[in-house]
Amino acid sequence: MHIFTAIISIIAVFIWGDWRNWKTYHSTILFFALGNLLYNFLTANHILWRLQGNVVPNHSLTEMLYTFVIFPATAILFLGNYPNGILKQLLHTLQWIAIYGIWEFVYTKTGHIEYQHGWSLSWSIFVLFIMFPLLRLHVNRPLLAYLLYAVASVFLLWWFEIPVHISIEDR
């Protein structure tokens, strides 16, 4: 299912995405990737969700597929088709939240995602309401997007009691 998602993402970018101008979205794609990599690093011993698959052998490789294929495609599609006008922008963002929410709902019903430590589809949708506006904010106000991302991350780490142990050893 995850490979299918990647293939659909690539096809969608070539049909509807502004892929020829990918450099325009490069820094936001990196912001998106950094967020996912940071999640995987900080929660490595306390994962909130685990992606299950039939073809990709483990969770880490599946997350890399999302980080380096699906999320960049999403950024190009979301930002490359971002409309003018507040109402159109709101509807565009809600459309993407719905796409991701429905896709994840299908994953829950087919066993391609497993929630742990209190995470749920509702929490995923809550995060989508933060994620997509932050992607757009990053285009024009990247430092503010990073600040708000940090605040949201600290909140989620605290709420889900994720043990974060940072140690610096002298060697």
Average pLDDT over all residues of the chain: 91
pLDDT at 171 over 70: no
Instruction: Provide the pLDDT confidence category of residue 95 given band limits of 50, 70 and 90.
Output: very high
What burial class does residue 23 get, using C-beta atoms within 10 Å of its C-beta: 0-12 exposed, 13-18 middle, 19+ buried? Answer: exposed
pLDDT of residue 166: 65
The domains of the chain are located at 20-72+84-159
Mapped onto helix, strand or coil, the DSSP state of residue 114 is strand
Whether the full predicted model's pTM is greater than 0.75, yes or no, is yes
What distance in Å separates the CA atoms of residue 62 and residue 141, rounded to the nearest whole number? Answer: 30
Q: pLDDT by residue (tens digit) across 122-148?
A: 999 999 999 999 999 999 999 999 999
pLDDT at 90 over 60: yes
Q: pLDDT by residue (tens digit) across 7-40?
A: 999 999 999 988 888 899 999 999 999 999 999 8
